[in-house]
Each structure stands twice: as C-alpha cells, then as structure tokens.
Copies of this chain bind each other. A is one copy, B any other.
Amino acid sequence: MTTAKLLLHCPDRPGILAEVTDFITVNKGNIIYLDQYVDHVENIFFMRIEWELKEFLVPREKIEDYFRTLYAQKYAMDFRLYFSDVKPRMALFVSKMSHCLFDILARYTAGEWNVEIPLIISNHPDLEQVARRFDIPFHCFPINKENKAEQERAELELLAQNKVSFIVLARYMQVISDQMIQVYPNKIINIHHSFLPAFVGAKPYHAAFERGVKIIGATSHYVTTDLDAGPIIEQDVVRISHKDSVEDLVNKGKDLEKIVLSRAVQKHIDRKVLAYKNKTVIFN
C-alpha cells in the first residue's frame, strides 16, 4: 500500500486544516494519518498528513505541482512531499566506537527500517571490519587540520555519486564544517553523549563525573553551524550513582547513545520530524 506523506508549516490562519484535508478527501485519497499542531508563540501551523495513493485522482507526479499552485502559494506554506515506496539513502559516518554502528546495521539487516545504506565513511580505518561483516562499502578519509576542507569535498562528491539524502554521525569524532552542513541542512543527524544543553563539547562523561550528577543522558539532534546547538530530535537518560566511575558512565552511556540515535533516525526515515528554527516538531 503506497502512501503519500505531506509535511508542511505556514503562518496560522483559519481554514488551512479543513482545506488540505478536503483536497485529499475530495480526490478520493484515504487519509490514514493526520497530526497537526499550532505554535501559538510563533503563530505557525504545522501539519503532517498521510494518505493512500491507490484511488487518489491526482496523478502521483502531479501532486506536488497541484498542491503548490492551489494551497502553498495561498498560505505561504513550506512543504515537503514524500512517497512511502521511495527509500531515503543514508550515509553513516563513524570513527572508532562501534556500538551505534552495530545497532544501526543490525536494524538495517533485519529489515526494520525503510532505508538504503549505500556507504560508510570514516576518518579512521578501525571499523572497516564491521562494515565488511555487513557487506557495506567502507571509505576512509583521514582528516587533519591541513586536509579537512579537501577531504570533505571528496566526501561530498562521493555522497552525491551515491545519491545520499541524509547523513548519520554514529559517534563520528570530527566537527562537520559549514560547507557540508549547507549541502545537507537539517539532514545530518548527530548523537551527542550528554543531556544537552548540559556538557556541550568534548568529554561530556568526564564533565558529568566531575559535576556529580545523578542522571546522565544522550541527545540526538540535527547538525547546524552552531556546535551541539541544532534542533533536538530525541533525548533519553539513565540513572547513575556516586559508585560509577567515568568508565562506568561511558559504558552505561553507550546503550543510551545507540537507542537515542536509532530512535531519531527512525523518526527521520518515517518523515515524522519537522525542524523549524532551532526546534523540532515530532509527529507521532
């Protein structure tokens, strides 16, 4: 059963919801999901709607054009249209730690996610053997201060060749530069190993240990040019105690990181995330 998924936001005005649902219903689309939300502070209307294409009277390839002409212009909408049978293509960026990588590849191999993973990119060779276990091409781009811009350009070319639509940083220990972020705006998902905005930057588990917190967290967010400050997609926490060493925090954190990152990636793949300014709307 192929479906269309429409995500939109625009200045809130009466009637938008009724008009959009009417457009789909009148054209014999069976709505199987609808969620909407109004940000009363910013006065923005957000909506996600999904309907079956089978009986839909507007041809698939013309939906976008019709919708833009009939509604998007009128309401100054920003919208994106997806079809359930088009799999997004995800690139994985890794460094040396394998827990997030294994978790993602296990889901991929088991068919849990509607996604393609054409390649894995790393700045270190260590995880090549993991990639090989799962038969996914592995490309190593060692990065230092001198070659960073050049290596990222090569990576961008490779990503383009592989028609990559979004990137997941699975504990990739390199700051992504602005040039790459601009090519993939709100399309690079990172996992930060703290409960942001606490412990921004490097070595958050050491910082958490020093502060003596009783709970640690992990945060998955879209990468923006402002380090660790992009729109948050998902967070979760786990309780610790004074008995936990930094190493214990690292180990407890690993389970958090992989689950939080995978939840964020799944929401992104399912087109349930709409980033607006520095926040996300998560449709459920």
Contact = CB atoms under 8 A, between A and B. Distances in A.
B217 A232 contact: no
A198 B213 CA distance: 11
Contact of A237 (B32, B232, B237, B251): B237
Contacts of A197: 198-199, 211, 213
Main secondary structure of the interface of A (DSSP, over half): mixed
Given A17-B31, A106-B103, A237-B215, A279 B98 contact: no
A147 to B, nearest CB: 29
A263 to B, nearest CB: 8
- How many identical subunits does the complex contain? 4
A97 to B, nearest CB: 8
A59 interface: no
Contacts of A237: 215, 237
A22 B215 CA distance: 36
A214 interface: yes
Top 10 A-B pairs ranked by shortest CB distance? A212-B279, A102-B106, A198-B198, A18-B21, A214-B235, A133-B133, A18-B22, A242-B281, A215-B235, A98-B110
Interface stretch (A37-45, A60-68, A149-157, A185-193): A37-45
Interface string A218-245: 0000000000000111111101011101
